[in-house]
A and B are shown apart, each in its own frame.
Chain A
Amino acid sequence: MNLTERKDVKTIPIIEMNDEQLMDASKNFLLSLKLNEMKTIQEHFLKLERNPTDAELETLAQTWSEHCKHKVFNSSFEYVENGSSENIENLFKETIKKSTKEIMQKENWLVSVFEDNAGIISFNENFDIAFKVETHNHPSALDPYGGASTGVGGVVRDILGVGLGAKPFANTDVFCFALPETPKEKIPKGILHPKRIFKGVRAGVADYGNRLGIPTVNGAIFFDQRYLGNPLVYCGTLGIIPKGFHQKSPKQNDLIVALGARTGRDGIHGATFSSAELSDSTDSSAVQIGNPIEEKKFLDVLLKARDLKLYSSITDCGAGGFSSAVGEMGEETGAEVFLEKVPLKYAGLKPWEIWLSESQERMILSVPEKNIEKLKQLCNEENVEATVIGKFTNDKKLKVFFEKDLILNLDMNFLHKGLPKSKLKAVWNSEKEKATQFSEPENISEILKQILSMHNIASKESTVRLYDHEVQGGTLLKPFMGLTGEAPADSSVVTPVLGEKKAVAVSNSLNPWYGDIDPYWMAFSCVDEAVRNIVATGCEIERIALLDNFCWGSPEKEENLGKLVRTAKGCYSASKDFNAPFISGKDSFYNEFSVNGKIISVPGTLLISAMAVVKDVSKILSPGFKKAENLIYLTGNTFEELGGSAFAHLINDSNGKVPKVDSVKALKSYNALSKASSHGLVKGMHDLSDGGLGVALSEMCFAKNLGAEIDLKKIKTGENISRNDFLLFSESNSRLLVEVEAGKEKEFEKILKGTDFSLIGKVSKEPVLKITGLNGKKIVDQKIELLKNAWRKTLKW
């Protein structure tokens, strides 16, 4: 017996299907479900003695998708590392979530982690702050502009839907592309040229973010040819929410209200689409165009409605549309939806299409009946549409009707907890680290200029200035500063409450080239970099929280999973050591593109985003060197760690030791620097990362067009390093360049006692970078202007 005989609702006869037919059904309906998942569903409906409707099957597929359920991370693993096997019951709980749980035992400032649309930590007595980062990769590969702009729209809605609604106050954007100069002939059919993708993504993010009035303050752009068919677009948003507003739950009889844009056929299958590899025949309905003004309109209204306490819960319509939003919100109660009440963009949608549409700019609210008129009035005043489409019940069932016909009847428990757990096998084999093979180049100045010109290091100013990073008036440390606005800052500092002493610092780190060698150290390095980026602001960190975003290839390959597990372990260790809990995260798999049977997979790309509360924003330091004759210190220890470095890539050497982290020493060093800064002893700070010391020195000179005189012999090293190029371009972690006022060495060194540091030179008035090598001879003697030109010219469009 079927649930309904309506002509516009299909019944899918799965209860009689064999395994092959089940997989065919999964493929044909774009469900992206595995055999054991299809069988679990089959079993469930066998018990019900009926077949599912298209709406029911699609709903299960969306809710059980990788995007929504993080199946890989919640799987149990047989993890084989260098031959020895380890059982991991749940990867997520035993790595990322574990360190957070442990930190929560001693810290009381984590408000909401891993359960809502974003992570929330405490900011001050009145407010909490939230952060979410997610990716929008596959749509951006097909329509860069639309994919990126809807990526921004989606993550902003997550912030609007965290707790009872947070006000977005900053955006972050991290992109991974292939080289924009890739010759046309090297572009496979069906793939857009990387420069076109870059420009499209860049414009999409600008047009949407600028219109929402959220400053884009932090980000990165990373280039590697393996992103050719599958760019990565990470969009992040930070929000501020009044204390006490983080909890929400619908009550029985609360009305289900759809807010915002109307529903159309756009973006259907978005969640399952993101779990499938791209090919040159991908269905175009998965691509959408956003309407930022619609989103801004309801952002304005929601904050008012929130403060008037008009609704009991809120969430955004993202992947899976209403099916996910209502399904999640009603998990503990049950819900009834009447689809014919949904306002449509145009006629002709089938019921399942209305239910699963991913039309942009929609939110779902649960509204107590007594408040609905006031809410509608508020919305009406600002031309926002709010429509009652159902109500919450108490039978723990999800029921969807269309014109009085029941077209979906699912048990909430089955929907949310029925997903069978997977057991996966992951394999990791370390390769013995080989020392760097190439011989020392003759002209170090030339090498420095070439490294500065490398895409991953070159100035991104022309991109950054397309984004309003000043809107809302609170951005104190901006992406580019200095006399001419060309000097890069390591992180951004924003005051979400104007005039307040406390501020929020945002930073990010990714380095897939380290991951190519050892993803454990990639993770650790990224966490260290995110932290030291914030140390470099000069402000004292009160607390710091992290987000993890994994973009990976196929989870069906053991080696890919091996790298994943190793990365997750690195995340755990680093998070624990730095007392920086993860509060939110996401993963995106199948970032691969298949053309004529060949698979191009992205390198495992972990993005660590950090949000810190800094105590006193008046301690903030503008980037770069400030005054001639000031002293230049290099804190931390330098090792011969060129594995995965910019220099190694320039020379094309895949050998070298990947940078490690001594977190105990690092923390000690960072605390000392914070103290020195709070005593006013530090005039400028910059962390060392891609391109090592050479690049960091150059960048510090760009702020006021001052120069520097450096002696490599003075550098404190953790092992014997006999080459100048190694000293200059090694990418050892946890190091910062620190400018100290002349005459204050004693005080500064007293505070840094017990940590590693070396006085390596001084700032000079002459705008030239002079570096003396180990043999006493000058190995770099370059005008700052020339270094800056090399750094700016690559991406100046």
Chain B
Amino acid sequence: MNPKAIVMRTAGTNCDTELVYALKLAGFDTDLIHVNSFISGKTSLDDYDFLGFSGGFSHGDYLGSGKIFANKLKYNLEKKVPQFIEKGGLVLGVCNGFQILVKSGILPGFNNDYSSEQSVTLSFNDSGNFQCEWIELKKEQSKSVFTHGIDMLRMPIAHGEGKFDPGSEEILNKLKKNNQIVFKYVNNPNGSVENIAGICDETGRVLGLMPHPERNVHIFSDPLKLLEKENIKEKNGAGLKIFTNALSYIKSERNK
């Protein structure tokens, strides 16, 4: 039986098409379900191995990107997501998904506490503008189960509120000490502190990042690959590894 992934959406979620596609391509059986279905109890996270929050403009980004959806997770789903993580589930938050994870207190998840008060944030790009472009990430030493075999990774960003702010030196140092910084921008596009593009929790099973790996699962999605297409034989984009790593992790955990 294939591992099961759920992409949880709400009003304004909009990068679900490509996230669901990437998960399916990696081998997951994937569902896309509205958060109301979880709040009403109609759908349960217990049925899944992987929980994804895609990019988008949930609730328009009004009141701060991801805030309203984050509050739904925190106050209306109560402990459901923390319990899911504690049971061994994987969580990925891309772009708006990352914003949702930090604003609901799920990331950075210090001391495995996924219901804590918010300790980091993602704020407006220094330029004050939305920006859509391809960037390069460098993998940092971290516990993330999503990043095996990855060193450098290219993918697009498309956001207006991507500036990572750890809030204080103390929190930043904690992230460093715990190896929770997963990716850094090679060329910082938005003013993120210490070029941080993505972080994980202390178990490595929860990952949040601003850029979109699910938009680089076909080799020629990357404009630089297309530029050199003559010399290229691979079919898959580099971003697919994030998802196949997740699948491998789940499968190997099952075999234990």
Contacts and interface: CB of A to CB of B under 8 A. Distances in A.
B215 interface: yes
Contact of B220 (A466, A483, A498, A620): A620
A210 B131 CA distance: 11
Contacts of B25: 499
B132 interface: yes
A211 B12 contact: yes
Given A213-B56, A465-B131, A476-B220, A293 B227 contact: no
Interface string B224-256: 101101100000000000000000000000000
A618 B223 CA distance: 13
Nearest to A462: B129
Nearest to A469: B132
A292 B56 CA distance: 12
B11 interface: yes
A620 B218 contact: no
Interface in A428-472: 464-472
Interface string A379-391: 0011100000000
A704 interface: yes
Nearest to B134: A485
A223 B186 CA distance: 37
Given A473-B21, A481-B227, A483-B224, A465 B133 contact: yes
Contacts of B17: 213, 472-473, 498
A626 interface: yes
A643 interface: no
Contacts of B61: 211
B34 A465 contact: no
Interface in B114-143: 129-134
Interface residues of A, number: 41
Contacts, number: 112
Contacts of A468: 130, 132, 158
Interface string A754-793: 0000000000000000000000000000000000000000
Contact of B158 (A300, A470, A476, A683): A470
B14 interface: yes
A663 to B, nearest CB: 31
A83 to B, nearest CB: 54
A632 B18 CA distance: 38
B59 interface: yes
A470 B212 contact: yes
B60 interface: yes
B214 interface: yes
Interface in A110-158: none
B133 A485 contact: yes
Nearest to A624: B227
A337 interface: no
Contacts of A624: 227
A473 B158 contact: no
A206 B130 CA distance: 9
Contacts of B218: 476, 498-499
Contacts of A622: 223, 226-227, 229
Nearest to B57: A211
Contact of B132 (A213, A470, A472, A481): A470
A482 interface: yes
A383 B36 contact: yes
Contacts of A618: 220
Nearest to A479: B132
A467 B212 CA distance: 15
Contact of B36 (A382, A483, A498, A703): A382
Contacts of A522: none
Contact of B130 (A466, A474, A703): A466
Given A467-B132, A468-B158, A469-B132, A620 B226 contact: yes
Interface string A612-625: 00000010101010
A464 B218 CA distance: 23
Contacts of B73: none
Interface string A209-232: 011110000000000000000000
Contact of A382 (B11, B55, B56, B229): B11
A296 B37 contact: no
B156 A293 contact: no
22 contacts: A210-B130, A210-B158, A211-B61, A213-B13, A213-B57, A382-B11, A382-B34, A382-B36, A383-B11, A464-B132, A465-B131, A470-B132, A470-B158, A470-B212, A471-B18, A473-B217, A499-B21, A499-B218, A620-B226, A622-B223, A626-B227, A626-B230
Interface of B: 9, 11-15, 17-18, 21-22, 25, 34, 36-37, 55-57, 59-61, 129-134, 156, 158, 212, 214-215, 217-218, 220-221, 223-224, 226-227, 229-230
Given A499-B21, A618-B220, 7 more contacts: A292-B60, A300-B34, A465-B132, A473-B15, A473-B214, A481-B226, A622-B227
